[in-house]
Structure 1
Amino acid sequence: MSTALLIDFGGVLTTSVHEAFRAFAREISDDESLVLRLLATDAESNALLVGNENGSLTDEEFEAGFAARLAAHGVTVAPEGLLARMQAGFGPDPEMVDGLAALRAHGVPVALVTNQFGRDCYRGFDLPALADEVVVSTELGVRKPSRKIYAVACERLGVEPSQAVMVDDIQHNLDGAAKLGIAGVLHTSAADTLAELDTRFGLR
């Protein structure tokens, strides 16, 4: 039975980040997959994402660079405020936030393990109130799926990786955690995730 929980932020405690990016792509183009596709498969765009999430690129550097990549694909967007526009379509998932609080009330120690995308991506959230520990990519200089970020989370909670379970909406982040022996739960809905966690922590 697991004894500690590591949990992602965007797309798990919030509504879908992918849906937000698709909404932004529809706003600026006729291709709703444009933003996700560039971030995933365009080497320069992906390097900008990685750099912003590990803290080596400022928000302004990301915005200027990604606006240039969009322009290279025929879409003209002002760089100023680009991150805010990309993230405008997502907000908290109350069911997950409440479910996380219930798990903590039952004594489950929780670490939030998150890749920070833009300095304002947590606006409106009190991260220290959500979890016992908050492990942010920009503070460590590495991002998921690096094993270091999961190891730090376990260390701060005082548990062995084999005692922890990680919840994320992206499989390769779970694959990174699995290299340390951390069990994974792929988040697809609040109901399914919370039911699975109740089982894993012996609450049902």
Structure 2
Amino acid sequence: MPYRAVIFDLGGVVVGSPLEAIAAYERRHAIPAGFINRVVVATGHAGAWSRLERGELTLEEFYPAFERECEAAGRRVAARALMELVAAATVPRPAMLEAIRRIRARGLLAAALTNNWITEDAGTGVLRPHFDVFIESAAIGLRKPDPRIFQRACEALRVAPAEAVFLDDIGANLKAARALGMTTIKVADPAAALAELEGVLGFALG
């Protein structure tokens, strides 16, 4: 079955990685590497981070809630400073934007599928014109790796999962997409990921 769409995560794929910003915050404040991610995972569906990304908390509500969770886990985290660092890291990657342009020029559809939160500024919404479909977790109340958010993306694109390629930097999200039948590419090195995508699609992206 030929591919009809490419679905991109934003943070760590189309824009700079929030994971790198979080790691930088941990180094700067002598917090053990991976501590913040462990708090996010341990608090799960009901945790402040997950609730933020489903649009159930504003940033102002998130800050004290997440700080309490981190303190309960043994470390103090200044959530506002952390999220400011994350926001500063999300700078668009020109090579990814060029790849998206070429994908659409070839007649394929391009979608953004991002776990995000509601901000007072435009945030990643400034990237909307680059995509045919733009799905934000905070807007629909679902977040990756919930299978329903991938199904929502395919429905919006009017493609079957097997007709889509999905790029993300988080393994759990890729695993969920693969389980639905999507072809997946992990983005650790953006250039390597684009080279892999070129091989999958069969045409140059840069």
Give the TM-score range, shorter chain. 0.7 to 0.9
Which residue in 2 is equivalent to 1:200? 200
Pairing of 1:8-157 with structure 2 (within 5 A): 8-40=9-41, 42-43=42-43, 47-73=47-73, 75-78=75-78, 80=80, 82-119=82-119, 123=123, 126-157=126-157
8 Å CA contact 1:23–1:89 kept in 2: the answer is no
Structure 1 unaligned blocks of 5 or more: none
Whole-Å separation in 2 of the counterparts to 1:203 and 1:64: 48
> Partners in 1 of 2:50 and 2:187 — Cα distance?
22
> What amino acid maps onto 2:16 in structure 1?
T
Name the stretch that deviates more: 129-138 or 119-128.
119-128
Q: Is the Cα–Cα contact under 8 Å of residues 67 and 76 in structure 1 kept in the other structure?
A: yes
Per mean C-alpha deviation after superposition, the further-off stretch among 83-92 and 98-107 is: 83-92
CA spacing shift, 1:94–1:186, aligned 2, 3 Å = same
CA distance in 2, matches of 1:62, 1:28: 20
Change (3 A) 1:164 1:78: closer
- Contact 2:8–2:113 (CA<8 Å) still a contact in 1? yes
The one-letter code matched in structure 2 to 1:54 is R
> 1:6 is matched by which residue type in structure 2?
I
Cα pair distance change 1:73/1:111, threshold 3 Å: same
2:6 pairs with 1:2 = no
C-alpha separation in 1, matches of 2:181 and 2:132? 21
Question: CA 1:159–1:83 in 2, change beyond 3 Å: closer, same or farther?
Answer: same
Question: Residue 170 of structure 1 aligns with which residue?
Answer: 170
Tell me how far 1:63 sits from its aligned partner.
0.7
1:45, CA displacement in angstroms?
Answer: 9.6
| Distance (Å, rounded) in 1 between the aligned partners of 2:122 and 2:25 | 19
Aligned 8 A contact 2:39 2:73 in 1: no
What letter is aligned with 2:95? E
**Structure 1 residue 88, shift from structure 2 partner:** 3.2
**Residues 197 and 80 of structure 1, relative CA distance in 2, 3 Å threshold:** closer
Q: 1:65 and 1:27 mapped to 2: Cα distance?
A: 22
| Aligned-pair CA distance for 1:56 | 1.5
Moved more, 71-80 or 172-181: 71-80
- Aligned-pair distance for 1:159? 1.1
Contact 1:83/1:118 (<8 A) preserved = no
In the alignment, structure 2 segments of 5+ residues that lack a partner are none
Of all paired residues, the percent bearing the same amino acid is: 32
Structure ranking higher in helix proportion:
2
What is the number of equivalent residue pairs in this alignment? 203
TM-score (norm 2): 0.85
SS of 1:111's equivalent in the other structure is strand
Letter in 1 for 2:123: R
For residues 122 and 113 of structure 1, what CA distance do their matches in structure 2 show? 16
SS in 2 for 1:126: helix
State the distance in 2 between where 1:162 and 1:181 align.
5
Tell me which amino acid in the other structure corresponds to 1:26.
R
Moved more, 186-195 or 117-126: 117-126
Q: TM-score, normalised by structure 1?
A: 0.86
